A and B are shown apart, each in its own frame.
Chain A
Amino acid sequence: MTATEIIATLDAECGSKIKDKKTDAIDPFIVVEPANLVAVCTTLRDHPKLRFESLNCISGVDYLEPDPKKVAKAGFEPHVEVVYHLCSISLRHRFVVKVLLPRWKDDKPGELPEVPSLVEIWPAADWHEREVFDLTGVMFGGHPGLYRILLADDWVGHPLRKDYEFPLEYHGIRGR
């Protein structure tokens, strides 16, 4: 199935839950609101024409231009994206789902934005979500154990945020 057909099938099934779609991108994708993510993903997995059994990758992308001189030319508003790359092994097609979030919940710096966890739908999401939480700083509501996975448990901050500052020292080890 091509991406256009996938989007058409999804539109017929839960069109009201799709916020935005882009078919002319290299990998066509849809954008959904965090509240509708679980419903759309359940459809993607269970619909007989879609059958996305496999979640290959979850990536967190921080859209922010840290240099104030370049902000005008950056070409995007500051936000965080969580990108889900799905794959159907039985029907041999791929698809991308995106969730757009504010950089901080309620614009309070330090409060992480939140999306619902997809562990119930794809168990593969478990470690991927922990990694996105660890490195990009996104909360996954309903995740069974959202601890840091790659960094130390007492690490401060989320390194893949564009405004992350490397610590001066960590347990007596000089940082920079």
Chain B
Amino acid sequence: MAIASLMPTDQTIVEFDVRTDEMLVNMGPQHPSTHGVLRLVLRTDGEIVSEVVPHLGYLHRCAEKIGENVMPIQFIPYTDRMDYLAGMNMNLAYSLAVEKLCGMKIPEKANVIRVLVCELNRIASHLVAMGTYGLDLGTFSPFLYAFREREMILDLFEEICGARLTYSYITIGGVHDDVPDGWLDHVTQFLDYFEPRIPEYHTLLTTNHIFVKRTANIGICSKELAIQHGCSGPMLRGSLDRRKNDPEWDLRKVEPYCDYDKYDFSAVLPPFDMAPPEAKLGDCWHRYMVRMLEVVESIKIIRQGLDRYKTAAGSHRIELPKHLPAGEAYAESECPRGQMGFYVVGSPAKAQVPLRVRARSSSMANLSLAGKICEGCLIADIPAIIGSIDIVMGEIDR
């Protein structure tokens, strides 16, 4: 009798079993899966994310303003600290812009050393991307293997320039020093050790059932969307399709610098033989796979570079002019994360310092897409998508 009186008499009252309100979730800036100090504000409805707004600037260090106040050669160490996982490539990107402005012609030997160290750095950077991506998705062991191999590359860099992270080795006009005795043999030894280990990573991660479940068909980014947002690097190439005759958009191929056109390698473009049936073009799995296969191409380039070094002519470095000429130059190069561009404006008054240095960050363009591709995904997929973009906040915030 008492129970019956508690039942609603009005039949229009409808009961919901689970009611979810819209909730704002703040992810970061101190969050292990945001790869640095990125803050994401998620608008969630239960487990579904309806909006992602990235907030940047936690690592802003006014690198562009510093560039206006120091000579180009003094700015090289600051470029290391932008993308700290690929310092060599960043040194090269800035050097290329200043050399374009000054109209310098770099000797063959310097170019060969540049290609060698840049490709080694690309391998190191992609290893970190692979290892930390595993961490994001909850597997720890690939990270240990990736860092074991990366450590050897850092040892090679230590031997060549003394630094393990912030190299400042490539400078304007070439490279800082010639390679030390025996270094080339050490590189060969490393490659002989490293190459047979790549299939191990594929067993550990690429074909891992859980990994495929977490990455395949998640965070799909179409080719048009990627191009409109200025994406580049693995982010763009993961969305291109060789079967549809999409361009091989790798700057080393389409606009070769440092004599990359003389090396035999191919740009990595889907489709991939190893693709699981559930993977779709442009998803997290494809972006990850582009990086893994680029490592193999880099090994090819380094092996050719080692042979080319023996016959390379010229010096490892040439003098740079005392004053920057008037005018402006914009140069882009293919960094591990995408196209890194530097825009250098020389002062008409022939000053030693440039009037303006602008860094076009590849990760920033890639990240600007995050809001679009995260729409409608689950909260648990956010680390998977952000990890697959492979951002370095130092480069985005500068």
Contact = CB atoms under 8 A, between A and B. Distances in A.
Interface stretch (A31-39, A109-117, A147-155, A167-175): A147-155
A100 interface: no
Interface in A107-155: 122-124, 126-127, 135, 148-152
Contact of A61 (B228, B355, B360, B365): B355
A85 B343 contact: yes
Contacts of A149: 56-57
Nearest to A45: B228
Contacts of A16: none
Interface residues on A, range: 35 or more
A59 B230 contact: no
Contacts of A152: 57
Contacts of B365: 56, 124, 127
B348 A76 contact: yes
Q: Which 9 A-B pairs have the closest CB atoms?
A: A75-B348, A124-B230, A57-B360, A59-B358, A150-B57, A150-B60, A61-B356, A127-B368, A26-B329
Nearest to A90: B247
Nearest to B102: A26
Contacts of A127: 364-365, 368
B56 A53 contact: no
A-side interface mostly? loop
Given A27-B328, A85-B360, A59 B343 contact: yes
A8 interface: no
B330 A124 contact: no
* Chain B interface size, under 10 / 10 to 19 / 20 to 34 / 35 or more: 35 or more
B328 to A, nearest CB: 7
Nearest to A53: B227
B229 to A, nearest CB: 5
Interface of A: 25-27, 53-57, 59, 61-63, 65, 70, 73-76, 83, 85, 89-90, 92, 96, 122-124, 126-127, 135, 148-152, 159-160
B64 A54 contact: no
A25 B327 contact: yes
Nearest to A55: B230
B341 interface: yes
Given A56-B332, A92-B247, A126 B339 contact: no
